[in-house]
């Protein structure tokens, strides 16, 4: 029987990037499609994974041998602060349904997606895979973070009770094509790209919320896609792996905004609004475990990845999630 890989959340930022990599890398190569493999990229319209019956139907339809579980209610800082109960409940339901159905359907391997939000607020840096449960997460994304943490707990429980081959990935901040550009709910990079685009179009100032000083590690969705494919095929352990660029590649929000101004070609007034919340100042994560396991891996330079993402947004404004 050929392998069938089901990607939940297959129509989102990360799912689309996995589809792009699978379809464009040479067949049979490390990140390309293997002969006979079937990849399925599921959207919420095909199955609302908050519902166990719809989840079971999806698995019955495709009979996946492997699952990359990306589906989640995802949002930026402001959405996470405002809708804590919804982020907790929706993500808890989705994760429980996908993990349990993967178990009952006899799926051979499941890689679920966490986030660096799962880490404790008060923690020693850099973050690494051993520190997830060492204290409470930051209050701003309390609901989302707890729902995601429970996936690691569940992975261990399923392994201990049933011997399941379930594991998880912890990406840092992702950006790329097919991002969510809705100004109410977007993460920082797509929100700033959209704002800068509007400022240019309307001849208004480009105002960045916060001081511009916080530092973050950003990973290009197409790089992350390759890392997920690697983890699915080559990593068989329950413990999570941080999927990220190195700690020495942190970028300030001001550097991000500068690069966006350049890529959009914006020449108007450009300022920072320090009355808006900054979030955590920095939360560097170590990618030592990843690099020790994967061997040679080339990340796309940040400015190049950002420029590719901006150009995609400019060319797809009419159909992008705005």
- Residues designated as active site: 144
Q: Kindly state the smallest distance separating residue 218's Cβ from ligand NDP, in Å.
A: 8
Name which position in 66, 109, 187, 195 contacts ligand NDP (CB under 6 A).
187
Name which position in 1, 29, 36, 45 contacts ligand NDP (CB under 6 A).
45
Give the total of residues touching ligand NDP (CB under 6 A): 26
Part of the chain binding ligand NDP (CB under 6 A), chosen from 4-12, 121-129, 207-215, 291-299: 4-12
| 117, 137 Cβ separation under 8 angstroms | yes
Name which position in 6, 14, 110, 305 contacts ligand NDP (CB under 6 A).
14
| 84, 75 Cβ separation under 8 angstroms | no
Question: Per CB under 6 A, does 70 bind ligand NDP?
Answer: yes
| 26, 32 Cβ separation under 8 angstroms | yes
Question: Per CB under 6 A, does 71 bind ligand NDP?
Answer: yes
Part of the chain binding ligand NDP (CB under 6 A), chosen from 25-33, 118-126, 160-168, 170-178: 170-178
CA nearest to 113, candidates 141, 52, 71: 71
Question: Per CB under 6 A, does 74 bind ligand NDP?
Answer: yes
Part of the chain binding ligand NDP (CB under 6 A), chosen from 40-48, 149-157, 227-235, 252-260: 40-48
Question: Per CB under 6 A, does 12 bind ligand NDP?
Answer: yes
**Token representation of residue 151:** 């996936």
For the CA atoms of 81, 307, 15, 5, what is the dihedral angle to 10 degrees? Answer: -150
Part of the chain binding ligand NDP (CB under 6 A), chosen from 169-177, 247-255, 265-273, 283-291: 169-177
Contacts of 98 (CB under 8 A, 6+ apart): 8, 49, 55, 67, 69, 71, 110, 112
Q: Kindly state the smallest distance separating residue 103's Cβ from ligand NDP, in Å.
A: 18
Question: Per CB under 6 A, does 50 bind ligand NDP?
Answer: yes
Rounded CA separation 246/177 (Å): 22
Question: Per CB under 6 A, does 15 bind ligand NDP?
Answer: yes
Name which position in 22, 79, 151, 174 contacts ligand NDP (CB under 6 A).
174
Sign for the CA dihedral angle at 142, 147, 150, 152 comes to negative
Beta strands in 28-125 (DSSP E): 38-41, 66-69, 109-113
Rounded CA separation 160/181 (Å): 41
- Reported residue count of the chain is 322
Question: Per CB under 6 A, does 280 bind ligand NDP?
Answer: no
Is the previous residue joined to 126 through a cis bond, with omega within 30 degrees of 0?
Answer: yes
Q: Which residues bind ligand NDP (CB under 6 A)?
A: 9-15, 43-45, 48-50, 70-74, 94, 113, 115, 171, 173-174, 180, 187
């Amino acid at each position: 029987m050929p392998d069938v890989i089901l990607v939940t959340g297959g129509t989102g930022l990360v799912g689309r990037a996995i589809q792009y990599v699978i379809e464009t890398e040479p067949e049979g190569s490390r990140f390309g499609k293997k002969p006979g493999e079937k990849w399925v990229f599921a959207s919420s319209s095909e199955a609302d994974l908050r519902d166990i019956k719809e989840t079971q139907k999806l698995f019955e339809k495709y009979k996946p041998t492997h699952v990359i579980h990306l589906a989640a209610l995802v949002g930026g800082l402001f959405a996470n602060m405002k809708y804590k109960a919804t982020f907790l409940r929706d993500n808890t339901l989705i994760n429980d349904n996908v993990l349990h159905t993967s178990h009952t359907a006899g799926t051979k391997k499941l890689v679920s997606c966490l986030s660096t939000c799962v880490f404790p607020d008060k923690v020693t840096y850099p973050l690494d895979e051993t520190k997830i449960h060492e204290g409470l997460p930051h209050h701003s994304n309390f609901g989302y973070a707890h729902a995601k943490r429970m996936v690691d707990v569940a992975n261990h429980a399923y392994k201990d009770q049933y011997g399941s081959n379930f594991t998880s990935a912890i990406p840092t901040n992702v950006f790329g094509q097919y991002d969510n550009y809705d100004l109410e709910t977007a993460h920082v990079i797509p929100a700033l790209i959209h704002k800068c685009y509007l400022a240019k179009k309307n001849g208004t100032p480009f105002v960045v919320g916060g001081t511009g000083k916080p530092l973050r590690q950003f990973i290009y969705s197409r790089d992350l896609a390759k890392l997920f494919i690697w983890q699915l095929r080559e990593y068989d352990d329950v413990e999570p792996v941080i999927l990220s660029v190195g700690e020495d590649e942190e970028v300030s929000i001001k550097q991000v905004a500068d690069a966006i101004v350049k890529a959009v070609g914006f020449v108007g007034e450009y300022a920072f609004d320090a009355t808006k919340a900054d979030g955590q100042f920095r939360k560097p994560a170590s990618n030592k475990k990843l690099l020790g396991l994967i061997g040679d891996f080339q990340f796309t330079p940040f400015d190049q990845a950002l420029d590719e993402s901006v150009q995609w947004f400019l060319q797809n404004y009419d159909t992008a999630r705005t």
